[in-house]
């Protein structure tokens, strides 16, 4: 790890990937965020955590940054624009629908 970044657990990576994938399936978005957007959110989350003095990313870091990082990458459908759907609101909706990753710990069984 460098001083400028923090590590992401597999759960955070999966959550980011799932959120970006969901943009490709949202009815108000076409065609969705590209893999570059995924990388941008990884990097922003890592940098944000490091700026907070942590060497790991928390799910709230991803939620906090998702709209700012991804919204400008969305192309909304004409119908969504006519309804006044903002890209930021769509990203917030998508992020809220992605389950928060949870680390599971296996404890030894008592005999």
CATH number for the domain that contains residue 65: 1.10.8.80
* pTM beyond cutoff 0.85: no
d(CA 36, CA 8): 17
Q: Is residue 16 part of a domain?
A: yes
Domain span at residue 37?
Answer: 10-97
pLDDT bucket at 104, cuts 50 / 70 / 90: low
pLDDT bucket at 105, cuts 50 / 70 / 90: low
In this structure, are residues 61 and 11 in contact, taking their beta carbons and an 8 Å threshold?
A: no
Closest CA to 86 of 44, 28, 24, 32: 28
Q: Is 7 helix (H, G, I), strand (E, B) or coil?
A: strand
Which pLDDT score, from 0 to 100, does residue 2 have?
Answer: 47
Q: Is residue 46 part of a domain?
A: yes
């Amino acid at each position: 790890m460098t001083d400028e970044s923090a590590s992401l657990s597999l759960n955070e990576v999966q959550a980011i990937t799932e959120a970006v994938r969901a943009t490709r399936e949202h009815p108000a978005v076409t065609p969705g965020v590209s893999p570059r957007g995924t990388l941008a959110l990884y990097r922003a989350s890592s940098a944000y955590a490091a700026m907070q003095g942590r060497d790991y990313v928390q799910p709230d870091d991803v939620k906090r940054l998702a709209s700012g990082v991804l919204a400008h990458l969305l192309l909304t459908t004409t119908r969504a624009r006519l309804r006044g759907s903002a890209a930021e609101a769509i990203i917030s909706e998508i992020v809220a629908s992605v389950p928060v990753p949870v680390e599971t710990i296996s404890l030894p069984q008592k005999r």
